[in-house]
Chain A
Amino acid sequence: MFSIEKPVGDTVSTHSPALETSDIQATVLRPRPSPYCGEYVILRIGDAAQGREMLRRMLPHVAPADEWWVPSLPGWLGISFTFEGLKALGVPQASLDSFPIEFRQGMAARAETLHDFGANAPANWEHPFGTAEAHVALAIYAKSERDLQKVLDLARKSHADLQQISVVYRMQFGELPDGRNPFGFKDGLHNPHVEGSSPAGAGTEASIKAGEFVMGYPDERGETADVPIPVELRRNGTFVAIRKFHMDVAAFRRYLRDQASSPEEEELIAAKMVGRWRSGAPLVLAPDRDDPALGADGNRNNDFGYADDMKGLKCPFSAHIRRVNPRDALKDDVVAVNLHHFLRRGTNYGPPLPEGVLEDDGAERGGVFLLIGAHLHRQFEFIQSQWVTDGNFISHGTEQDPLIGNNEGDGVFTIPRVPVRRRLHGLPSFVAVRGGEYAFMPGLRALRWISNLGR
């Protein structure tokens, strides 16, 4: 079958080997198309042999990162497995035991670390999130509804005659007008550049070692992952933290209305919370008013740092984008920022709340985020626990992220100003966690390895 000994002397080198993009799933390295539509599907495997049969049939349709948007393909399919899913597929016990503890426990069990309390608690999540029923998570992206149906058909056919495979969850997603998120902001603008994945983007930002995002390559600490075992399973694989957020757009608008005395001030407070204006223009480069040309310019809208704003007068310390991606803002602290990145693949769902509406219409809307990295604990869990749901790292006590923090009505948001700062009180939670899972997203050869288990 396979050898379970750990490989001796995984090399630590200063230069990275070339990324095997033909073996890494497209979802890991490539941005989704725009415009886009798609569907997330969660499957339950009641029988290991049937699960592996489904996997064999699905394999030819899983998109690799090199032929990521081949015109002949109608869309792409990404596939990942929860710990329960790997068990259900009959992955050997020694392999299962070698996975990091946070993955084995699953996102729901990590609620205390992740601050998933109150409305965000796993008990309030949609079924089957956080239960032993969620095994396989599929992410299907397409450019049009017709193309999406084609890929969904392929996925369906791979298990239609397998009685022990059941679809336990489906949700559609799609782009909102102007590529904005439900709050009305252009987002998904920034992702770290993975060394060796493609030519570096414009701007001054350094590339991050591939091993931070894909196993089999040196990471920022010079280490190459040695678990899970065997190497056939982990090579070119990674982990995904899946988070589904409902966004209470009406509450966000009402809060801005209550805090501001003019529409201009509403926009300023909103931008201070996010760290960018609605167009995507960053506050550091456009501190006083929105600059749509800057927001739309992919060469400029990420070419900034916080070195010239160390008092937070342009972009507050607590602003969402400064928290989740501090860039050079923490350069004077003992924090190794490059150990705390993830690749963020976000999609929106639900209808937009019409302009100007301040009352909730009861519709479900929000975003689903795939937060991808090789180290769940020091990437997603660190960012969520230290930077999103706490304020100590910026000397802000227990202040949380104003946009995605679990604020429950008594949150505060500090806006540095001269001569005295402004502090907003009574922040509600603008987002509610509807569900989440930790999933393992293997490379293509590893998928084949899993599908051949037991043969």
Chain B
Amino acid sequence: MATQTLSRPQQDQTVDQKIQELRQLYADSPVGKTALENSIPALREKLAKGLRSNESAGRVGLRQGKVSELTLIFKFVPGGAKRLRALLQVMGANFGTEKVATVHDQRFVFLDNDTKLLFATAYDGDSWDTYLDEFATKIPDELDMLFSELEEFPGFRDPSVKDWIAKYQIPAENWYVAHPDLTVRDIRRLKRIGKAAEEFLDKIG
């Protein structure tokens, strides 16, 4: 019994038990209650098949197959939001992240009247700190520029940057990935192959 994990009892719950629990919780939600009842047949079918679940990525965060998520909320330093907004407008979508080849997407959202930043990204691998040393060594200025306007930022050349990130990281409660089995590099390769195959078919067709 000592090896039993916290999530174990839930896994042992039957589909009916899970649905019953949801019904009780949603009983107080007028719109949600009806929507849930209408959705239960489809939900029951999916649960019975066994859904894919989120795994943990490194210290914090969720992983789906080969892809992981990183969600951070920081406080801006005074004047930081203004500077970062100006920088992001100049940069547009030109982040040079293509070179990194492990980043699927990244977003910067300014919260609470420009006092906080939400940064969210999806990346390949099971832990961001595996590759953080590379970034810190190869592109520290690019990263420092983006994160310098945040409180307590030590700079990417400082090894304590890992602890700084972990401190402000918030694991997603749930996260969906269309293709958990494809890395950015896999996608590039498949695009190349697809293009070659289309050209081939065009020629023989």
Contact = CB atoms under 8 A, between A and B. Distances in A.
Interface of A: 220-221, 223, 332-336, 339, 378, 382, 385-386, 392-393, 395, 397
B89 to A, nearest CB: 25
B138 A334 contact: yes
A397 B66 CA distance: 10
Contacts of A339: 133-134, 137
B165 to A, nearest CB: 16
A221 B159 CA distance: 9
B139 A334 contact: yes
A48 B101 CA distance: 50
21 contacts: A220-B137, A221-B133, A221-B137, A223-B159, A332-B99, A333-B101, A334-B99, A334-B100, A334-B101, A334-B134, A334-B139, A392-B102, A392-B124, A392-B183, A392-B185, A392-B186, A395-B185, A395-B186, A395-B189, A397-B183, A397-B186
A336 B183 CA distance: 20
Nearest to A226: B159
Contacts of B136: 221
Interface in B78-129: 99-102, 124
B47 to A, nearest CB: 28
Contacts of B44: none
* Chain A CB within 10 A, most for which of B136, B157, B183: B183
Given A334-B100, A334-B101, A392-B183, A386 B159 contact: no
Contacts of B189: 395, 397
Contacts of A335: 134, 138
B144 to A, nearest CB: 15
A333 B131 CA distance: 12
Interface of A is mostly: loop
B99 A395 contact: no
Contacts of B102: 392
Interface of B: 66, 99-102, 124, 130-131, 133-139, 157, 159, 183, 185-186, 188-189
A333 B100 CA distance: 7
B185 A336 contact: no
Given A223-B159, A334-B138, A378 B185 contact: no
Contact of B138 (A336, A386, A397): A336
A386 B137 contact: no
Nearest to B158: A223
Contacts of A223: 159
A333 B134 CA distance: 10
Contact of A395 (B133, B137, B157, B188): B188
B177 to A, nearest CB: 16
A416 to B, nearest CB: 13
B185 to A, nearest CB: 4
A16 B44 CA distance: 65
Nearest to A378: B133
A368 B170 CA distance: 43
A332 B96 CA distance: 13
A401 B158 CA distance: 33
Closest 5 CB pairs of A and B: A336-B137, A395-B185, A334-B138, A334-B100, A336-B134
Contacts of A332: 99
Nearest to B189: A395
B195 to A, nearest CB: 15
Contacts of B139: 334
Contacts of B124: 392
Contacts of A386: 130
Nearest to A335: B134
A8 to B, nearest CB: 15
A395 B159 CA distance: 29
